[in-house]
A and B are shown apart, each in its own frame.
Chain A
Amino acid sequence: MASTETTDTTAKATAGDAPGLSGLEAGLDALESSATGRATFRQTFVGKILPPVLAAVVVVVIWQALITFKVVDDPTKLPSPGDVWGEVEDAWLQGKLLGYIWTSVSRGLLGFLLALAIGTPLGLVVARVKVVRAAIGPILSGLQSLPSVAWVPPAVIWLGLNNSMMYAVILLGAVPSIANGLVSGIDQVPPLFLRAGRTMGATGLKGTWHIVMPAALPGYLAGLKQGWAFSWRSLMAAEIIASSPDLGIGLGALLENGRNASSMAMVFEAVLLILFVGIAIDLLIFSPLERWVLRSRGLFVKG
């Protein structure tokens, strides 16, 4: 097999003007390109999965110890891990747990998709059109530092205590992040790519689609990730403030209900569920997306 290949290539090489060139080239290619393997499951488990699990276990152990050794002796201030787990279990057995989570997550994701549909073209226009950038660029980056919770009161006044108000708050939180992420992604596109694209005829919309957008993808993804974090936070604030029975009980409303019922276990349940969803969305959607983009470009640093 190998020998037929060699004779084949040498035949080709003599057809060219420098005998043996292709063999030389193949040797160079083999010497200089490095093969990168992927980590085994065991490596991933020991390096990536085990440490955070251990950390969580340590936190629970300390928590339990605080109660067992009566450091904190007031269940209305600090419920035991068992009590909180009991709340979660009850909600599960009553068939309400997934309902709480889904009410919030579906709102969050739908709002986020809307923010994506608005923030992406907005970011593109701001990045590519000088006048627009001069006009609204500063406002857009200013808005990013405004805590989106600040939008809850005006949104309630404008839209009332309903779902549209929640979506409005999500949009106001996430759109600036997504747009800004795209803008900074586009700003960081190496000029060389744009020049190369132009010599190939990728100008205007073609250039945007084939060169600018894919080149800006890492920055855009970072913006999406931040946009999601902002959506999720502002949604929780909106749910706490706008809890009414016809809106369904999401995680924010659950937290508020816990407070009203003076049930610290329920409050902890809600807080842990909110945290859990935030981590889960990141682990299930954004981290894999980010890793895939970086790995395919050879930018992924094993850490």
Chain B
Amino acid sequence: MATALAKAAEGAASTEHAARIEHVSKSFAGPAGQQLVLDDITLDVAPGEFVTLLGASGCGKSTLLNLVAGLDKPTAGSITTDGRPALMFQEHALFPWLTAGKNIELALRLRGVPKSERRGRTEELLELVRLQGSYGKRVHELSGGMRQRVAMARALAQDSQLLLMDEPFAALDAITRDVLHDELTRIWAETGLSVLFVTHNVREAVRLAQRVVLLSSRPGRVAREWRVEIPQPRRIEDAPVAELSLEITEVLRGEIRRHGQH
């Protein structure tokens, strides 16, 4: 009763949100009939909020992100976002036939930015991800970290209020990933974007987020949520980060263990 009231109040208060996921379920046709991947997910992302979605394999995190991005439709429930969200993938997904700068310009062009403004805006975005001077670089000439930063700039070029990130740093080496965490935090603070960030790395989730949402697996449900009150800038080695990570990892392991019991 009390929770229902609280939810209603919350719903009334936050008419403004970057993304609202309401009772979303998704099933796919599998070899054993319909397979439920996401079960009744309800989740809001407030404007300017940084939320990480955490879960083991098979929790449907990427599926959920695809739904929010509008690349797929939910079986049940509804998703509302303010405009089309930008999406970043684990692979940089930059187009190899274009230079770094032209990749960003393409996003601007598809959004309808007039030609005269594109170059200037692109240079600004490159500067934001600290790649000034890389406009004419070919994708294959860039390192993994640089590619993801160009991909980030391209996502930002979409000028969306919501940035979806699907394990964008999972394929990077630890040193580069660390640096990109700092970059992402900085850019998030500078731009005031809302971010929904999917990962299976608990420390990464805690390092970045204001709120960590843990999904259970098969089907994916919201298992628990944590508010992360540790002030930024954080480091992945910080004691409070490690402490909370440990706590979340215990719950995550409990979730995973349930699957081995039958």
Please report A residues at the B interface, Cβ cutoff 8 Å.
16-18, 21-22, 24-26, 28-29, 31-36, 192-193, 195-196, 198-202, 206, 210-211, 214-215, 217, 293, 296-299
Partner of A206 from the list B110, B142, B233 (CB cut-off 8 Å) is B110
Question: Considering the chains assembled together, what is the distance between the CA atoms of A297 and B91 in angstroms?
Answer: 16
Across the interface, do B110 and A298 meet the contact criterion of CB distance under 8 Å?
no
Partner of A24 from the list B97, B141, B179 (CB cut-off 8 Å) is B179
Across the interface, do A33 and B96 meet the contact criterion of CB distance under 8 Å?
no
Across the interface, do A198 and B71 meet the contact criterion of CB distance under 8 Å?
yes
Across the interface, do B182 and A199 meet the contact criterion of CB distance under 8 Å?
no
Whether B86 is near chain A, meaning CB under 8 Å from some CB there, is: yes
Nearest-neighbor residue (CB-CB) of B137 within chain A: A33
Whether B35 is near chain A, meaning CB under 8 Å from some CB there, is: no
Question: Considering the chains assembled together, what is the distance between the CA atoms of A297 and B141 in angstroms?
Answer: 9
Can you name 28 A-B pairs with beta carbons within 8 Å?
A: A16-B186, A18-B233, A21-B186, A28-B175, A28-B176, A29-B146, A32-B143, A32-B145, A32-B176, A35-B141, A36-B141, A192-B93, A193-B93, A195-B71, A195-B87, A198-B71, A199-B69, A199-B87, A200-B107, A200-B110, A200-B111, A200-B158, A202-B106, A210-B110, A214-B98, A215-B95, A297-B139, A298-B139
Across the interface, do B110 and A18 meet the contact criterion of CB distance under 8 Å?
no
Which residues does chain B contribute within 8 Å of A202, judged by CB atoms? Answer: 106, 110
Question: Considering the chains assembled together, what is the distance between the CA atoms of A196 and B130 in angstroms?
Answer: 23
Q: How far is the CB of B198 from chain A (nearest CB, A)?
A: 14
Which residues does chain A contribute within 8 Å of B255, judged by CB atoms? Answer: none
Contacting residues of chain B (100-135) with chain A, CB-CB under 8 angstroms: 106-107, 110-111, 130-131
Across the interface, do B69 and A297 meet the contact criterion of CB distance under 8 Å?
no
Across the interface, do B143 and A200 meet the contact criterion of CB distance under 8 Å?
no
Across the interface, do B71 and A33 meet the contact criterion of CB distance under 8 Å?
no
Question: Considering the chains assembled together, what is the distance between the CA atoms of A211 and B98 in angstroms?
Answer: 10
Which residues does chain B contribute within 8 Å of A298, judged by CB atoms? Answer: 96, 138-141
Q: How far is the CB of A169 from chain B (nearest CB, A)?
A: 34
Q: How far is the CB of B130 from chain A (nearest CB, A)?
A: 5
Q: A215-B97, A297-B97 are in contact. Are A21 and B179 (CB under 8 A)?
A: yes
Nearest-neighbor residue (CB-CB) of B131 within chain A: A29
Across the interface, do A29 and B145 meet the contact criterion of CB distance under 8 Å?
yes
Whether B232 is near chain A, meaning CB under 8 Å from some CB there, is: yes
Q: How far is the CB of A253 from chain B (nearest CB, A)?
A: 42
Nearest-neighbor residue (CB-CB) of B160 within chain A: A199
Across the interface, do B111 and A201 meet the contact criterion of CB distance under 8 Å?
yes
Which residues does chain A contribute within 8 Å of B85, judged by CB atoms? Answer: 199
Which residues does chain A contribute within 8 Å of B22, judged by CB atoms? Answer: none
Question: Considering the chains assembled together, what is the distance between the CA atoms of A211 and B233 in angstroms?
Answer: 38
Q: How far is the CB of A33 from chain B (nearest CB, A)?
A: 5
Q: How far is the CB of B152 from chain A (nearest CB, A)?
A: 13
Whether B40 is near chain A, meaning CB under 8 Å from some CB there, is: no
Q: A25-B179, A29-B146 are in contact. Are A211 and B232 (CB under 8 A)?
A: no
Question: Considering the chains assembled together, what is the distance between the CA atoms of A201 and B139 in angstroms?
Answer: 21
Which residues does chain A contribute within 8 Å of B139, judged by CB atoms? Answer: 297-298
